[in-house]
Homo-oligomer: A and B are copies of this chain.
């Protein structure tokens, strides 16, 4: 998973890009990068580490210009090599280009072979370089970014929210199914596109709207144009953005994430009520879900586990015992809240189950009489090919296990996952506009030999017709 941002704004963009990446830091902690353009040259800086570790005031002051893009990357199992850190910068026929990408392509290998047969070399092992090649290949014959993005949408399979800066223009587009989020905001003297609306908030900008699936948005100075490149029969918004990944204060595809989570909490109570003493979240991601459960049930919300705010990536665990103990150092039980109590413990999801088991142990050690686990996602049964870092089928605790089996394995008094139906209702979207592949094993596009219910996609021969003023009126 990644967070991306592009800004065009008078008065310098490096500091705004930095603050925006800060707001998107939860989408990726492995590396961070910014590229800006000052009318002549690209200025670039990127490194492994958190935004706060990678940049300092000197570096940001050196990133000149009023237009730029930024990126944060999630720690994935893949190749952690400098070349792979985004933005991906390159030149083509005097044009300075910088590209950032959130998502995962499912036909990378085939596309790579196609280009290599033409003599193309690859400097990275990222999907991003493939996207750059497709764009440039089209720009040889056409000077139109519409054509280039049309070529992308025809060739690329998988999820992709992309921002590409070509000299002083920012182009942003989202795959026809809209799998990963992308939204547009107004700055003081310019515009911003970014993964989540919290980045717009951080800059005190004004949220305009989500970029539509299949749409291309182009920003030049304070002007914005839009064109619909592809139109699908349905969307495939990732349901895990709502359950776990996005920040609760983000609004994604029209829905406030906090509200979705609170509604999930309420449904969890209605589906699986329990006569308990307190409702406690697993901090931090379970908090909104837990307030929903508490409100619906009337059982008091009380923090049974306090999170150490200072646990960073560099926390040292020299051996296995230390690693096991790490959960205890990260989450401290409030014994008085737990001792002798029946506790509803609300978590967002269960993946491998190892952390759940340890947390339940801690809560029981603190004296809890009963530990009722309520989970904000249905059981995860299948892998994600579209950008969420999930383990293999075999490593998922719910793979080939009933809910009762899992309950026993993690040591809970009772266990309930929200039903798929309630989850869909909580998102406020209809089932045909969501990707719930990891829950059902049926994906919204063809991937390998998996089951699929692919959306139909039409390509539209339009041209930029709408400038910002117009669509501001329309929206």
Interface on A for B, CB 8 Å cutoff?
Answer: 15, 18-19, 22-23, 25-26, 44, 46, 50-53, 55-57, 60-61, 81-83, 88-93, 97, 113, 116-125, 132-133, 136-137, 140, 198, 201-202, 204, 247-249, 251, 256, 258-259, 262, 284, 287-288, 291, 294-295, 300-303, 306, 308-312, 314-316, 318, 322, 325, 328-329, 332-334, 336-337
How many whole Å from A66's CB to the nearest CB in chain B? 17
How many whole Å from A116's CB to the nearest CB in chain B? 5
Complex contact B119–A56 (CB within 8 A): no
CA distance A73 to B195 in the complex (A): 38
From B113, B137, B294, B332, give the contact of A23 (CB < 8 A). B332
- Some 27 contacts from A to B, beta carbons below 8 A apart, are A22-B329, A26-B309, A26-B310, A51-B310, A53-B314, A55-B316, A83-B123, A89-B123, A90-B122, A90-B123, A91-B122, A92-B116, A93-B113, A118-B118, A119-B133, A120-B136, A123-B123, A198-B306, A202-B329, A247-B332, A248-B334, A251-B336, A258-B306, A259-B336, A262-B302, A301-B301, A309-B309
From B22, B120, B262, B287, give the contact of A120 (CB < 8 A). B120
Tell me which residues across on chain B come within 8 A of A259, comparing CB atoms.
336
- Known contacts: A137-B119, A309-B284. The answer to whether A248 contacts B328 by CB under 8 A is no
From B295, B314, B332, give the contact of A56 (CB < 8 A). B314
Closest to A79 in B: B41
Complex contact B301–A56 (CB within 8 A): no
Complex contact B90–A249 (CB within 8 A): no
CA distance A117 to B333 in the complex (A): 50
CA distance A337 to B61 in the complex (A): 37
Complex contact B310–A302 (CB within 8 A): no
How many whole Å from A182's CB to the nearest CB in chain B? 19
From B51, B57, B247, give the contact of A306 (CB < 8 A). B247
CA distance A18 to B316 in the complex (A): 9
CA distance A322 to B258 in the complex (A): 28
Tell me which residues across on chain B come within 8 A of A333, comparing CB atoms.
201, 249
Closest to A249 in B: B306
Tell me which residues across on chain B come within 8 A of A93, comparing CB atoms.
113, 116
How many whole Å from A330's CB to the nearest CB in chain B? 9
Tell me which residues across on chain B come within 8 A of A284, comparing CB atoms.
309
How many whole Å from A348's CB to the nearest CB in chain B? 15
Closest to A140 in B: B119
Complex contact B303–A287 (CB within 8 A): yes
From B52, B123, B291, give the contact of A301 (CB < 8 A). B291
CA distance A120 to B287 in the complex (A): 50
Known: A23-B329, A52-B310, A259-B336. 13 other contacts (CB 8 A): A15-B318, A18-B316, A19-B325, A22-B308, A25-B310, A60-B316, A92-B116, A117-B140, A118-B118, A118-B140, A256-B334, A288-B303, A291-B301
CA distance A93 to B251 in the complex (A): 43
CA distance A55 to B315 in the complex (A): 9
CA distance A325 to B19 in the complex (A): 10
Tell me which residues across on chain B come within 8 A of A133, comparing CB atoms.
119, 121
CA distance A25 to B330 in the complex (A): 12
How many whole Å from A321's CB to the nearest CB in chain B? 10
From B119, B295, B332, give the contact of A136 (CB < 8 A). B119
From B82, B120, B329, give the contact of A119 (CB < 8 A). B120
Complex contact A310–B50 (CB within 8 A): yes
Complex contact B22–A310 (CB within 8 A): yes
Closest to A139 in B: B119
CA distance A337 to B262 in the complex (A): 12
CA distance A51 to B311 in the complex (A): 10
Tell me which residues across on chain B come within 8 A of A120, comparing CB atoms.
119-120, 136
Closest to A58 in B: B316
- Known contacts: A303-B248, A328-B202, A332-B202. The answer to whether A92 contacts B310 by CB under 8 A is no
Nearest 5 A/B pairs, CB to CB: A249-B306, A123-B123, A25-B310, A119-B137, A90-B121
CA distance A53 to B53 in the complex (A): 11
From B118, B121, B334, give the contact of A258 (CB < 8 A). B334
Tell me which residues across on chain B come within 8 A of A198, comparing CB atoms.
306, 332
CA distance A325 to B23 in the complex (A): 13
Complex contact B19–A329 (CB within 8 A): yes
CA distance A92 to B116 in the complex (A): 6
Tell me which residues across on chain B come within 8 A of A26, comparing CB atoms.
309-310
Tell me which residues across on chain B come within 8 A of A325, comparing CB atoms.
19, 204
